Amino acid sequence: MSRVYNFSAGPAVLPEEVLKEAQEEMLDYRGCGMSVMEMSHRSKMFDEIIQEAEADLRELLNIPSNYKVLFLQGGASLQFAQIPMNLMKNRVADYIVTGQWAKKAWQEAQKYGTANKIASSEDKTYSYIPDCSDLPISPDADYVYICENNTIYGTKYKTLPNTKGKLLVADVSSCFLSEPMDIEKYGIVYGGVQKNIGPAGMVISIVRDDLITDDVLPGTPTMMKFKTQADASSLYNTPNCYCIYICGKVFKWLKKMGGLSAMKERNEKKARILYDYLDSSNLFRGTVVKEDRSLMNVPFVTGSEELDAKFVKESKAAGFENLKGHRTVGGMRASIYNAMPLEGVEALVAFMKKFEEENV
Ligand SMILES: *Cc1c(COP(=O)(O)O)cnc(C)c1O
């Protein structure tokens, strides 16, 4: 068996240890004679899996007791609708548009009320985070929305926007659990798990409990009310049981790695190796303003489409998968999530140096 270095933006690399454990437990989960895929979501076995997953996540992120943890279906994209349906009481919200995911969320919110675009970096292909120290926050805004790490463009907020007292809602799909965060600064933090945590098809939403009410927009489906999911501890209907199980294993792995402060250090070290090389290279360069660089998604280009294509092709042949950049940025993108080992980044940089020598 040979595994590649997988730099995919998502679904993405998972810790090998976690995959092996899941493999061992595939046919007979801890002596119960069946796989987690085959067991009732109401069983004692599964109850332990979901409870432990939640407890470990709470410990990792230091989630205060007045926040609910919801394991939901529909991925991050369904939150684009679920958030306005539950929060837009005044039918006004402010969006900061720093990439395609933020734009999609902003567009979806327009179905439910006035969604103001109060800042954007679209003028420069989303290659920076706009100044958010003094934004034109709407007096009657129900919340201010950000996408904290922009998966496609490789930018990240280093300081949170000044929301002037308004509730902050953040999509953290591609930086979830990559470093510690202060949950209390947010009303809702959510992320699709297929970037940094587990298999696709699920979103974890961490919602402050005063935002979980019956007072939702008229016509909101039962399944889309946070209260329905919170009251049923994410078991209103059959959840994505296997995904919750794998996420739980990743939480245990993160704890074993030393928690989120240790992950931050590790991620900074990995990113530094790549960015330092990009800054010194005569061939490659990063596409993002230095101060706003993401630790997780690193887009880069050579400046020549032909050479970019050659690099993607040759890197693939050498065992580096999914380095092709998003079509709107072009070039390459290396996603170096938690589960990408340091050796993977070192090997990539060595390969890039060799490519540079051969092509400059
Ligand atoms: C991938 C991604 C999404 C979409 O996730 P789905 O689970 O496919 O809906 C949303 N936001 C961000 C920041 C992402 O990276």
Provide the whole-model pTM: 0.98
Cα–Cα distance between 222 and 234 in angstroms, integer? 13
Q: What are phi and psi of 323, to 5 degrees?
A: -90, -5
Give yes or no for residue 51 having a pLDDT over 90: yes
Report the nearest-CA residue for atom 10 of ligand 1: 76
Q: Express each pLDDT in 219-251 by its tens digit.
A: 999 999 999 999 999 999 999 999 999 999 999
Report the nearest-CA residue for atom 8 of ligand 1: 75
Tokens of 217: 């927009």
Higher pLDDT, 40 or 1: 40
Q: Express each pLDDT in 19-47 by its tens digit.
A: 999 999 999 999 999 999 999 999 999 99
Query: Binding site annotation covers 171?
Result: yes
- Fold (CATH) for 17-256: Aspartate Aminotransferase; domain 2 (3.40.640)
**Portion of the chain with pLDDT greater than 90, in percent:** 98
Q: Residues 155, 182, 77, CA angle at the centre, nearest 5°? A: 55
Provide DSSP, 91-130. Answer: SEEEEEE-SHHHHHHHHHHTTTSEEEEEEE-GGGTT-SPP
In testing the pocket of ligand 1, which one of 79, 82, 95, 101 has its CB within 8 Å of the most ligand atoms? 101
Bridge partner residues of 207 (DSSP) = 68, 188
Distance 164 CA to ligand 1 centre (A): 27
Quick one: which H or E segment has residue 6?
strand 5-6
The structural domains of the chain, with segments of one domain joined by +, span 17-256, 259-359
Report the nearest-CA residue for atom 11 of ligand 1: 101
Give yes or no for residue 1 having a pLDDT over 80: no
* Ligand 1 closest atom vs CA 10: 1
How far is CA 224 from each of CA 72, 73, 78, 234, rounded to the nearest angstrom? 10, 10, 9, 12
Report the nearest-CA residue for atom 12 of ligand 1: 173
Q: What is the mean pLDDT of residues 195-207?
A: 97
Q: Express each pLDDT in 129-167 by its tens digit.
A: 999 999 999 999 999 999 999 999 999 999 999 999 999
Active centre residues (catalytic): 101, 171, 195
Residues ≥6 apart with Cβ < 8 Å to 348: 5, 7, 274, 315, 320, 334
Cα–Cα distance between 227 and 86 in angstroms, integer? 9
Q: Is 70 helix (H, G, I), strand (E, B) or coil?
A: strand
Amino acid at 178: S
Provide DSSP, 290-349. Answer: GGGB-SSEEEEE-S-HHHHHHHHHHHHHTTEE--BPPTTT-SEEEE--TTS-HHHHHHHH
Q: In 232-304, where does DSSP find H-type helix? A: 241-256, 259-280
Cα–Cα distance between 245 and 292 in angstroms, integer? 34
Distance 139 CA to ligand 1 centre (A): 29
* Ligand 1 closest atom vs CA 77: 9
Q: Express each pLDDT in 112-138 by its tens digit.
A: 999 999 999 999 999 999 999 999 999
Cα–Cα distance between 74 and 24 in angstroms, integer? 29
Q: 70: how many CB neighbours lie within 10 A of its CB?
A: 23
Ligand 1, CB within 6 Å, residue ranges: 10, 75-77, 101, 147, 151, 171, 173-174, 192, 195
Q: Express each pLDDT in 284-299 by its tens digit.
A: 999 999 999 999 999 9
Tokens of 178: 């990559």
Report the nearest-CA residue for atom 3 of ligand 1: 76
Cα–Cα distance between 270 and 261 in angstroms, integer? 14
Q: Determine whether domain 259-359 maps to CATH 3.90.1150.10.
A: yes
Q: What is the mean pLDDT of residues 336-350?
A: 98
Query: Binding site annotation covers 101?
Result: yes
Residues ≥6 apart with Cβ < 8 Å to 11: 194, 199, 200
Query: Binding site annotation covers 237?
Result: yes
Q: What is the mean pLDDT of residues 72-85?
A: 98
Q: Is 154 helix (H, G, I), strand (E, B) or coil?
A: coil
CA dihedral 249, 255, 258, 262 (to 10 degrees): 70
Distance 151 CA to ligand 1 centre (A): 8
pLDDT of residue 234: 98
- Confidence band of 2 (pLDDT split at 50, 70, 90): confident
pLDDT of residue 178: 98
Quick one: which H or E segment has residue 290?
none
Q: Do 198 and 18 touch, CB atoms closer than 8 A?
A: no
Bridge partner residues of 334 (DSSP) = 298
Distance 353 CA to ligand 1 centre (A): 32
Distance 105 CA to ligand 1 centre (A): 10
pLDDT of residue 260: 98
* Closest of 301, 321, 298 to residue 309, by C-alpha: 301
Residues ≥6 apart with Cβ < 8 Å to 242: 36, 37, 199
Distance 317 CA to ligand 1 centre (A): 28
pLDDT of residue 272: 98
* Ligand 1 closest atom vs CA 202: 7
Report the nearest-CA residue for atom 14 of ligand 1: 173
* Ligand 1 closest atom vs CA 101: 11
* Ligand 1 closest atom vs CA 172: 13
Tell me the pLDDT of the chain averaged across its residues. 97
Give yes or no for residue 360 having a pLDDT over 90: no
